[in-house]
Structure 1
Amino acid sequence: MENKYTARTFALEIATILLAILFLVPFYYVIVNSLKSFAEILLNASALPTEIKWSNYTVAAERIQYGKVFLNSLIITALSNVVIVVFCSMAAYKLVRSTSKLSNIIFIMFVAAMVIPFQSIMIPLIRVTSNLGLLNSIYGIVIMYLGFGSGLAIFLYHGFIKSIPKELEEAAIIDGCSPFGVFWRIVFPLLKPITVTIVILNSLWIWNDFLLPLLVLQDVSLRTIPLATFYFFGEYTKQWDLALAALVLGIVPLLIFFFLMQKHIIKGITSGSIK
């Protein structure tokens, strides 16, 4: 039976288009105003620029030392994703395959930790970090991201590993595979769809995070893109034209990464369903 194009379908399409436009409005304001002069932004922030000022991007990149802060953000995001994926995937695998009550208690503690707001532990965290000598250290902030990201990552891995047949691991053990070999050769490749999902979620969070780097990375040479963008907001002046240009420079790499990884997650889910 052929599907008919009804009035209800038309109404849903119109509603979807309006909703999409609503979500795109902030992007319009950011991109359009990043191409204006400061005076023109104050006159009318909604209008298109009368004269496109590409110089905003070059000046903003020079002011924030874009190459340096981009590298800092990239290193922190990449290292944090690596340690979260490695440690949390192994932890979740052990918690799933262990039948003891202690494993269930530990899993519940990881899940419960997700509801604790960062602001409530912010001051004790900085004190402990300072005592351990991890302030002004990329490795220090990576360890913190591991702690804050473990709850969600273990929760997602835990649910996905439950769907993997245990018979695959038993067959590998019979063939002489070690416990680490079973995980890295058999189990971990099957975790690709959820691993990509975790990497995307953590990258969006870590790349855009402002508060934790502000507290930990006090050295100017270790600033990330969000911290560097804050440079344009002083006590008496706010350079919106340059700040918005710097914001676009920070968003573009993340958008490129998201669209590239989106292909992988769709492919991974499709291949997994076929298997």
Structure 2
Amino acid sequence: MNRYRFKRYLGRFGTGFYAAVYVVISLFPLLFSFLSSFKDNMGIYGAPFALPEHFSWDNYVYAFENTSILRGMFNSFIYSVLSIALIVVMSLCISFVYRMGIPYKNAIFLFFIAGMTLPVHATLVPLASIVNSLNLKDSTAGIVGVYAATNLSLAVFLANGYMKGISRELDEAAEIDGCGQYRLLFTVLTPLMKPVISTIVIMTFLRVYNDLIFSILLISDRSKATLSVALMAFKSEYDINYGGTFAGICISILPMIIIYCIFQKQIEEGLAAGSVKG
């Protein structure tokens, strides 16, 4: 075996070893949660990494019967869908305005970039004050508006960068054919931006669906609480039902696993294209 082939095989082995280690590290928390969901607290404390002595569905039954986890999943899903729709439309419109050219557009763009660097905890007090003054607490409009506002900066950054990479000759050709600005944006440019739109949808869904801070701050009505708040029902004043908590976690991540399995190709293409385009 010559030196070149040895280096090639060594590189393949290193890549494969790194991939295997990464897969194990990534899947271990999921596997640990799944196995722990069949144990009680004593089983988790006594042998956290061992297989359950017997697979009992008591924790799952408890999660369904004694908590509002299904309602929380539904609320989180609705908030995610509405926030995604609002963010996608706003980011496309803002990026299109940049493309057409407006005064001080660079300064405005820096304003959105600054929003990405602002710690979320620094916005809690002013956001709560604004929502309360507008009587939007415990309202879908209030929580969706906050989610859209806090995730819009990243969406604008991605959409604007991707739209810059689209040739302006398309705009000129569309205008010659009598295409107005609305048709130019939604029928010509938007179909070309499907990869970055997929990226925005994925990132926004993960952030909103798993949010806890804003849901606690802006929602006091239990019927409108999110999934993360529903999972807190397993914690009492003096104890935590860890088995039930892990069962609730497994139930909560099931929709994301199903969505990923169905749209795996679109998700991977969107992440790859959105990370390098523009």
Q: Which of residues 1, 9, 27 is equivalent to 2:12?
A: 9
Residue equivalent to 2:37: 34
State the AA in 2 paired with 1:77: S
Q: Deviations over 1:202-229 (max 9, x none)?
A: 1111101111101111110001111100
Percent identical? 31
Question: Is 1:18 the counterpart of 2:27 in the alignment?
Answer: no
Segment drifting more, 75-84 vs 117-126:
117-126
User: How do residues 48-127 of structure 1 correspond to structure 2 at under 5 angstroms?
Assistant: 48-98=51-101, 100=103, 102-127=104-129
For 1:270 and 1:217, the matched residues in 2 are separated by 36
TM-score by length of 1: 0.92
For 1:266 and 1:17, the matched residues in 2 are separated by 19
| 1:52 to partner: Cα distance | 0.5
Residue equivalent to 2:156: 154
Q: Deviations over 1:101-144 (max 9, x none)?
A: x1111011101111111111211210111000111111111111
State the AA in 2 paired with 1:68: R
Please tell me whether the aligned partners of residues 34 and 56 of structure 1 are also in contact (alpha carbons under 8 angstroms): yes
SS at 1:188 equivalent:
helix
User: How do residues 133-148 of structure 1 correspond to structure 2 at under 5 angstroms?
Assistant: 133-148=135-150
SS at 2:178 equivalent:
coil
Please tell me whether the aligned partners of residues 199 and 271 of structure 2 are also in contact (alpha carbons under 8 angstroms): no
For 1:113 and 1:17, the matched residues in 2 are separated by 37
State the AA in 1 paired with 2:208: I
For 2:65 and 2:124, the matched residues in 1 are separated by 32
Q: Deviations over 1:214-271 (max 9, x none)?
A: 1111110001111100111122010001011001111111122234333124567999
SS at 1:6 equivalent:
helix
Residue equivalent to 2:214: 212
Please tell me whether the aligned partners of residues 37 and 53 of structure 1 are also in contact (alpha carbons under 8 angstroms): no
TM-score by length of 2: 0.91
For 1:89 and 1:232, the matched residues in 2 are separated by 41
Please tell me whether the aligned partners of residues 70 and 225 of structure 1 are also in contact (alpha carbons under 8 angstroms): yes
Please tell me whether the aligned partners of residues 197 and 270 of structure 2 are also in contact (alpha carbons under 8 angstroms): no
State the AA in 2 paired with 1:71: F
For 1:176 and 1:2, the matched residues in 2 are separated by 59
Please tell me whether the aligned partners of residues 91 and 154 of structure 1 are also in contact (alpha carbons under 8 angstroms): yes
Q: Between Structure 1 and Structure 2, how many residues are aligned?
A: 272
For 1:157 and 1:148, the matched residues in 2 are separated by 16
For 2:182 and 2:18, the matched residues in 1 are separated by 51
Task: Specify every segment of 5 or more residues in structure 1 that has no aligned partner in the other structure, as ranges.
Answer: none
SS at 1:49 equivalent:
coil
Please tell me whether the aligned partners of residues 157 and 194 of structure 1 are also in contact (alpha carbons under 8 angstroms): yes
| 1:38 to partner: Cα distance | 2.5
For 1:124 and 1:85, the matched residues in 2 are separated by 25
1:17–1:244 Cα change, 3 Å: same
1:54–1:269 Cα change, 3 Å: closer
Q: Deviations over 1:166-205 (max 9, x none)?
A: 1112222222222111111101111100000110011111
| 1:9 to partner: Cα distance | 2.6
Please tell me whether the aligned partners of residues 192 and 268 of structure 1 are also in contact (alpha carbons under 8 angstroms): yes
Segment drifting more, 247-256 vs 149-158:
247-256
